[in-house]
Amino acid sequence: MSIERIAIIGLGLIGGSIGLALREMLPDIATTGWDADRDVRRKAAERGLVGKVSDSADDAVRDAQLVILCVPVGAMGAAAQSIAGALPPGAIVSDVGSSKHSVAQAIAKALPDAVVVPAHPVAGTEKSGPEAGFPELFRHRWCILTPEDATPAEAVEQVAAVWQGLGAKVEIMEPAHHDLVLAVTSHIPHLIAYTIVGTASDLEDVTRGEVIKYSAGGFRDFTRIAASDPTMWRDVFLTNRDAVLEVLGRFTEDLTALQRAIRNGDGDTLFELFERTRTIRRSIIEEGQDDARPDFGRSDH
Ligand SMILES: NC(=O)C1=CN([C@@H]2O[C@H](COP(=O)(O)OP(=O)(O)OC[C@H]3O[C@@H](n4cnc5c(N)ncnc54)[C@H](O)[C@@H]3O)[C@@H](O)[C@H]2O)C=CC1
Ligand SMILES: O=C(O)C(=O)Cc1ccc(O)cc1
């Protein structure tokens, strides 16, 4: 049986993009949506992010076969709680959170009897809100599902089929492993971007005007990432604490080794690292995962 009715809770960048993508790519699926923010609900209705923007979380999920929670990871428990009274028996609950272990715990606590298939579309931008979404966001990008061993296979297959219908490639992973992998590939890079942009703006001997005027490519790329939503990223670091601290420990050691190499004039160490990292960039481009592809990073998003 395939899914015919989906409710989206949280109509910002990701919820809105899912709604638009469903309407465009899987138009036979009926969509409802709700957001805690009245202004977001109004904008979502204006943009037609879902077929019907409901007046309450209860109304949005009442007939749903799949509910996707698209709120900041720190709000997943509250969002799950808000649908507890009206969730139809047998409905699948999913989410899109950037960290998985603590989100799964929060959802399970609020909805102990629900069938839960957590998901993380590894696709996004630095923008947020109901104006930011676009239907192609998930095309050719990975979506990682992190179900428990006991989760019915049919529910996992149904959620996978929806993501594949939106153009995504699906992979299954243990939640703890997901959190470690994403700490390396996404969370720590964001932390580094927030740090370097903060450091640049705090330097006493370099003015803010100079930082803006002379920002070369590298710094500009960091400012894009450091413009990401503060609520979302505060929650990511607080919910993926252990994995982030583990990777940060390794990163700090490696940074100290580079500091030593620079101080000692040890060019070989610097050169060998830069040569090795260059091949990683090339592999990403060969995989087609770079953001420079034509349908990503369009100037209107
Ligand atoms: N922004 C990105 O690039 C990506 C984000 N994610 C994950 O997707 C989730 C949503 O992120 P975005 O869409 O970027 O954020 P967003 O800020 O654009 O949208 C979140 C929406 O949730 C609403 N909300 C907050 N608490 C709520 C509640 N209790 N009930 C109902 N609505 C509530 C807010 O009003 C807001 O409209 C987060 O968990 C994030 O970790 C996953 C992949 C990429
Ligand atoms: O905009 C960027 O560079 C991103 O890294 C987007 C992003 C943010 C959070 C995620 O969980 C997945 C993707």
- The CATH code of the domain that includes 223 is 1.10.3660.10
Inform me whether the pLDDT recorded for 61 exceeds 70: yes
Q: Is the pLDDT of residue 294 over 90?
A: no
The two structure tokens encoding residue 128: 């947020």
Query: Which ligand has the nearest atom to the CA of 233?
Result: 1
**Tokens matching residue 187:** 């969370």
Residue 212, pLDDT score? 85
Would strands 5-9 and 66-69 be described as parallel, antiparallel, or unpaired?
Answer: parallel
* pLDDT at site 295: 46
Residue 156 shares a structural domain with residue 188: no
| Ligand 2 centroid distance, CA of 287 (Å) | 17
Asked, for residue 297, whether it belongs to a domain, the answer is no
70 inside domain: yes
Comparing CA positions, the residue from 73, 72, 64 lying closest to residue 114 is 64
- Write the CB contacts of 227 (distance below 8 Å, at least 6 apart in sequence): 126
Residue 217 counted as domain residue:
yes
Residues 18 and 126 in one domain: yes
Judge whether residue 298 has pLDDT over 50.
Answer: no
**Domain ends where: 173, 200, 227?**
173
User: Is there an atom of ligand 2 within 6 Å of 98 CB?
Assistant: yes
Is the CB of residue 96 less than 8 Å from the CB of residue 14?
A: yes
Domain of 210?
A: 177-265
User: What lines the ligand 1 site, CB under 6 Å?
Assistant: 9-15, 35-37, 40, 70-73, 75, 78-79, 82, 96-98, 121, 124-125, 128-129, 229, 232, 236
Residue that is last in its domain, among 124, 146, 173: 173
CATH number at 23 reads 3.40.50.720
| 301 belongs to a structural domain | no
Residue 101 inside a domain? The answer is yes
Give the sign of the dihedral formed by CA 17, CA 135, CA 22, CA 102.
Answer: negative
- The mean pLDDT value for 32-59 works out to 98
Query: Is the complex ipTM more than 0.95?
Result: yes
Query: Considering only CA atoms, which residue is closest to atom 8 of ligand 2?
Result: 124
Q: Is the pLDDT of residue 193 over 80?
A: yes
Q: Which atom of ligand 1 has the smallest separation from the CA of 73?
A: 39
Structural domain tally of the chain? 2
CA 124 / ligand 2 centre spacing (Å): 5
- The answer to whether position 288 is within a domain reads no
Do both 93 and 234 map to the same domain? no
d(CA 210, CA 4): 55
Indicate if 117 and 83 belong to the same structural domain.
yes
Q: Which of 7, 107, 114 is nearest to 61 (CA)?
A: 7
Same domain assignment for residues 141 and 215 = no
Going from the Cα of 148 to the center of ligand 2, the distance in angstroms, rounded, reads 24
**Is the CB–ligand 2 distance for residue 225 below 6 Å?**
yes
More confident residue, 238 or 204: 238
Residue 131: how many other CB atoms lie within 10 Å: 16
Name the average pLDDT for the chain: 94
Ligand 2 centre distance from Cα of residue 86 (Å): 32
Residue 24 confidence (pLDDT) above 50: yes
Residues 215 and 99 in one domain: no
Q: Give yes or no: residues 75 and 209 share one domain.
A: no
Among 139, 173, 207, the domain-final residue is: 173
> Which residues are within 8 A (CB) of 241 and not within 5 positions of it... i.e. 6 or more apart?
none
pLDDT of 287: 81
With beta carbons less than 8 A apart as the criterion, state whether 56 and 68 touch.
no
Tell me if 287 is assigned to some domain.
Answer: no
- Shared-domain flag, residues 257 and 169: no
286 domain residue, yes or no: no
* Residues 166 and 198 occupy one common structural domain: no
261-287 confidence digits (pLDDT tens): 999 999 999 999 999 999 998 888 888
- The verdict on 18 and 140 lying in the same domain is yes
What's residue 148's pLDDT?
Answer: 97
Ligand nearest to the CA of 17: 1
Pair 18, 167 in one domain:
yes
Q: Is the CB of 94 under 6 A from ligand 2?
A: no
For residues 230-253, give the mean pLDDT: 98
pLDDT(134) > 70: yes
- Does 25 share its domain with 166? yes
